């Protein structure tokens, strides 16, 4: 089955690419006038990043982008998703424009076009300018104006050549990991941050969409949400209710307000408290008619009721406790979950196209004799793709797939320890080696039949 996949089965118009993010690949953090981002600051705090790694150099993509785009082309990918580093083009977040930063993205876009690769811009992939965090960051409703200014600039500079736009990347991670558990930058902790941050992200998601629509004729506009198919641990009513709460948070929180359905307080009444942060007309302002929704699915989640966790009253039962197969991140490998979550999202009437805007896996890669025999990763891709195909054949309007990621990179709090690339990087020498999974993709994408 999955080993006999053929790209033809997905149709000739199915779009194949890889996804990346500025902070994870660019490096050159102090070059050409770039301002600091919250990830520069956060990764300087001892103990926040595994091995105290930082992204000062990362994949040195700022200088090696031509090489890496050539690799993407060689592997057969025709779409390339990257994000703009807000502080590279607006070092203080607002105001002063850094032309050299803009020039970099112009070179990158032009190089994509030269190689007949279609560029996809993500406006926000987590690297908020530190100067804006100093003014309250995502907790401050002013961010809607800051984001507007930034989006106006991006569309004015890049909108003549870039048609595909993703407004936010995984806003749930920003609110949950960035401002509630503090595991990600800016490392803020406390449940009291969660709801205002969620609301401001949702407002920016829709406002950003409107700005791109206004400024870029013919734009294809989406936003990218993390999602995990949620299963209750047992058939008990309590576990089932816990699964509904988890589903509201993990899968419904950012898409439903955009579709005009409001926040999913029906399944998780705590969300009613978000009213405190709502201003008149906000319900309308949260809506935007996206051309596509980017879904990013890596794993499924099993939850049970727990008295020990106030507010949520639930706990995850990790893959390791259930003897379920998992990646090096401990994330459960559940290709069927991809099928299920695609079906779940396709039930929303307001969703037009779906793009799988990220999917991939970290494993412990070993470079030996110039080869990385990552058969687990290849199997992962084959099985997930097989389930995407199945969903498509069953009527889900999925139009494209962007693998995470082209190369190994700085995996946030995991530093360089977690490798997700189709191409291996030796971070001491910056040497690139196509992994066997990358070779599999090349065969798959370049095949005649
Ligand atoms: C996603 C992020 C992406 C990368 C992958 C592994 O949640 O959007 O930047 O870290 O996970």
85-125 pLDDT, tens digit per residue, is 999 999 999 999 999 999 999 999 999 999 999 999 999 99
Active site residue 79: no
Dist. CA 279–CA 153, nearest whole Å: 27
Q: Name the residue of 357, 362, 412, 422 whose CB sits within 8 Å of the most ligand 1 atoms, as the mutation to test its pocket.
A: 412
Indicate the pTM of the whole model. Answer: 0.98
> Which run of H or E residues covers position 150?
helix 143-158
Q: Catalytic pick from 157, 170, 207, 411?
A: 170
Closest CA to 124 of 187, 205, 194: 205
- Predicted pLDDT at 448: 76
Residue ranges of the chain with per-residue pLDDT less than 50: none
pLDDT for position 449 = 61
H helices within 266-348, ranges in order? 282-285, 335-346
- Which of 123, 174, 358, 359 for mutating ligand 1's site (highest number of atoms within 8 Å of CB)? 358
Q: Is 133 a catalytic residue?
A: no
| Alpha carbon of 166 to ligand 1 centroid (Å) | 14
d(Cα 63, Cα 77) in Å, to the nearest integer? 21
Q: Which of 410, 367, 403 is nearest to 388 (CA)?
A: 403
Separation CA 389–CA 404 (nearest Å): 18
Q: According to the model, what pLDDT value does residue 116 have? A: 98
Cα of 432 vs centre of ligand 1, distance in Å, is: 21
Write the CB contacts of 207 (distance below 8 Å, at least 6 apart in sequence): 144, 147, 148, 151, 285
* Tens of pLDDT, residues 195-210: 999 999 999 999 999 9
Q: Which atom of ligand 1 is nearest to the CA of 418?
A: 6
- Cα 170 to averaged position of ligand 1 atoms, centre (Å): 8
Residue 4 has a pLDDT of: 83
* Cα dihedral 203, 301, 265, 342 in deg (nearest 10): 60
Whole-number Å distance between alpha carbons of 110 and 343: 37
Give residues (CB < 6 A) around ligand 1.
21, 24, 169-170, 173, 226, 296, 358, 404, 411-412, 420
């Amino acid at each position: 089955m999955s080993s006999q996949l053929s790209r033809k089965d997905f149709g000739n118009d199915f779009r194949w690419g890889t996804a990346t993010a500025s902070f994870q690949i660019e490096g050159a953090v102090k070059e050409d006038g770039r301002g600091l981002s919250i990830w520069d600051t956060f990764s300087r705090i001892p103990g926040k990043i595994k091995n105290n790694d930082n992204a000062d150099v990362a994949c040195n993509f700022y200088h090696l982008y031509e090489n890496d785009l050539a690799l993407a082309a060689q592997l057969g990918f025709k779409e390339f998703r990257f994000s703009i580093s807000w502080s590279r083009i607006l070092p203080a977040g607002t105001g002063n424009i850094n032309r050299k930063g803009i020039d970099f993205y112009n070179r990158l876009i032009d190089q994509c076009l030269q190689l007949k690769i279609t560029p996809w811009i993500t406006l926000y992939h987590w690297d908020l300018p530190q100067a804006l965090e100093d003014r309250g960051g995502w907790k401050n409703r002013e961010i809607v104006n800051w984001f507007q200014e930034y989006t106006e600039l991006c569309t004015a500079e890049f909108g003549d050549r870039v048609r595909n736009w993703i407004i936010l990347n995984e806003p749930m991670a920003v609110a949950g990991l960035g401002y509630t558990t503090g595991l990600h930058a800016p490392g803020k902790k406390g449940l009291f941050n969660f709801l205002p941050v969620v609301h401001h992200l949702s407002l920016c998601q829709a406002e950003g969409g409107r700005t791109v629509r206004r400024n870029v004729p013919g734009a294809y506009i989406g936003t990218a949400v993390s999602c995990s198919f949620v299963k209750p641990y047992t058939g008990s009513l309590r576990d089932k209710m816990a699964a509904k709460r988890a589903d509201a948070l993990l899968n419904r929180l950012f898409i439903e307000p955009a579709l005009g359905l409001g926040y999913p307080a029906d399944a998780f009444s705590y969300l009613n408290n978000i009213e405190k942060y709502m201003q008149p007309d906000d319900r309308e302002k949260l809506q935007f008619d996206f051309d596509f929704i980017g879904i990013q699915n890596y794993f499924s989640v099993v939850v049970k009721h727990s008295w020990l966790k106030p507010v949520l009253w639930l706990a995850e039962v990790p893959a390791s406790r259930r003897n379920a197969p998992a990646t090096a991140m401990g994330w459960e490998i559940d290709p069927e979950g991809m099928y299920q979550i695609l079906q779940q999202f396709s039930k929303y009437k307001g969703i037009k196209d779906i793009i799988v805007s990220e999917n991939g896996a970290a494993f412990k890669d070993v470079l030996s004799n110039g080869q990385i025999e990552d058969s687990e990763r290849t199997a992962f891709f084959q099985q997930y793709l097989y389930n995407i195909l199945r969903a498509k054949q069953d009527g889900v309007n999925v139009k494209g797939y962007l693998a995470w990621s082209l190369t190994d990179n700085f995996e946030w709090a995991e530093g360089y320890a977690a490798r997700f690339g189709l191409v291996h990087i030796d971070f001491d020498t910056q040497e690139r080696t196509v992994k066997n999974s990358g070779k599999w993709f090349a065969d798959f994408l370049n095949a005649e039949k």
